[in-house]
Amino acid sequence: VSKKFARATIHSHARLTYTEVQEVLDDEKSSHKMTNEIKLLYKVFEKLLKARINRGSLDLDIGEAKINLGEDGKIASITERPRRDAERLIEELMITANVAAAQVFSTKGLGVYRVHDTPTKEKVDTLRSTLGPMGFTVPSPEAGHRAWAKLVEELKKHPAGPQLMRAVLQTQQQAKYDAQNIGHYGLALPLYSHFTSPIRRYADLLVHRAIIKHLSLPGQGGHLAEGGAVLTRVCEGINLRERISQRAEWEAKDRLIVQYFSELLIKAEEEQIFDATVTGVQKYGMFISINGVAEGLLPVESLRENGYDYVPRFELYKKGQDKKKILRLASTVKVELADADQIRGRLTFRLISA
């Protein structure tokens, strides 16, 4: 695949939403003016996706909550954010552009990479103790990408696939920005950067500056910090701000979700009962997920009231000596909403049955 970087002005022929693109992909007789272009891009996407699968990239599709607001500005519903072919098409094209950018400064000089290291032995051992009893084989940290990709594909077939894949995600190290390249483990790529969003991410802006400088493109914008040590410190600052921003986003979303459930609790004329899946096990209780869109705590007190005791060695809760009465990661339970703390953004449940 050839690539070319140049100063350019975008001439937009259509402003499409993901839904509009998906409608074109789903309709063989689509009359949309951009049908030919979208269908051609889809063929490119299919080839890129095949290459991604072949190299063993981790496709951890665990779902994400989407908060839908009504005309009054209040939360109307909470659903799972879709990840259709339209979203995946754009994702693959952006990855391709990011790789092309990283290839420029990998041979020309300084630049900012998006790096992702291999998982640590300690985290892999923890994952093994969790998934092993369920019949899954967890590869070693040194195992090739395909071994981990195979595990992920096996987990997808499990009824609690998203919850199990979340455990794999927690095993992975956090991706970060660095002036030194170590590759991207999750994407199974030797080179990677963030190039596509310079108007909202400073790292991407630095990548654009590096490309302008290294390719001697006309015009301004080619200024880049002199020396790897300076750029490394800049990356450390970006990483810190990214974590702070990410934490703020998670907390804001948690509070909105809790606000929604709090209103359910206030307006409800009867108990709010939900089917839930266990996403984490601790000595103080279990974390549970409601349809993949809301998470909360099932406290140990509620579990003990129902006869369940914590078994730390196997990270599970067991009811007496009955081997069939076990609650662990991916177990399904029926729970009642007990409390919605809007200040801390936390939901608390009571166990109804398991």
Q: Model confidence over 136-170: pLDDT tens digits?
A: 999 998 888 999 999 999 999 998 888 899 999 99
Under the banding of pLDDT at 50, 70 and 90, the label for residue 284 is very high
Closest Cα partner for 198 from 187, 207, 211, 210? 207
Please report the pLDDT score of residue 204 as a whole number.
97
Closest Cα partner for 276 from 255, 259, 263, 261? 261
Query: Between residues 229 and 323, which one has the greater pLDDT?
Result: 229
Under 8 Å between Cβ of 209 and 221: yes
Distance CA 146, CA 189 (A): 13
Number of H helices, E strands in the chain: 9, 12
Under 8 Å between Cβ of 283 and 312: yes
CA distances from 229 to 119, 174, 226 (A): 26, 22, 8
Please report the pLDDT score of residue 221 as a whole number.
80
- The DSSP secondary-structure symbol of 178 reads E
Please report the pLDDT score of residue 63 as a whole number.
78
Under the banding of pLDDT at 50, 70 and 90, the label for residue 113 is very high
Please report the pLDDT score of residue 238 as a whole number.
98
Please report the pLDDT score of residue 231 as a whole number.
92
Residue 133: pLDDT above 90?
no
Query: Between residues 246 and 313, which one has the greater pLDDT?
Result: 246
Distance CA 228, CA 235 (A): 10
Average pLDDT, the chain: 92
Closest Cα partner for 180 from 244, 142, 243, 234? 234
Question: Residue 311, by phi and psi: left (phi above 0), alpha (psi -120 to 50) or beta?
Answer: beta
Residues 6 or more apart whose CB falls under 8 angstroms from that of 293 comprise 63, 65, 66, 78, 79, 80, 257
Residue 173: pLDDT above 90?
yes
Residue 1: pLDDT above 80?
no
Under the banding of pLDDT at 50, 70 and 90, the label for residue 99 is very high
Q: Is the pTM of this model over 0.85?
A: yes
Handedness of CA 208, 193, 176, 287 (dihedral sign): positive
Residue 350: pLDDT above 80?
yes
Under 8 Å between Cβ of 110 and 179: yes
Distance CA 57, CA 184 (A): 10
Residue 20: pLDDT above 80?
yes
DSSP string, 224-293: --SSHHHHHHHHHHHHHHHHHHHHHHHHHHHHHHHHHHHHHHHH-SS--EEEEEEEEEETTEEEEEETTT
Instruction: Give SS3 for 46.
Output: helix
The pLDDT tens digits of the residues spanning 197-237 come to 999 999 999 999 999 999 999 888 878 777 788 999 999 99
Domains and CATH numbers, the chain: 18-117+173-256 (no CATH), 269-353 (2.40.50.140)
The total of other beta-carbon atoms located within 10 Å of residue 282's CB is: 12
Under the banding of pLDDT at 50, 70 and 90, the label for residue 297 is very high
Under 8 Å between Cβ of 185 and 115: no
Please report the pLDDT score of residue 321 as a whole number.
80
Residue located via tokens 């359910």: 264
Distance CA 76, CA 259 (A): 11
Instruction: Give SS3 for 68.
Output: strand
What percent of the chain clears pLDDT 70, i.e. is strictly above it? 100
Under 8 Å between Cβ of 142 and 118: yes
Structure tokens of 130? 């969790």
Residues 6 or more apart whose CB falls under 8 angstroms from that of 172 comprise 58, 116, 119, 123, 185, 186
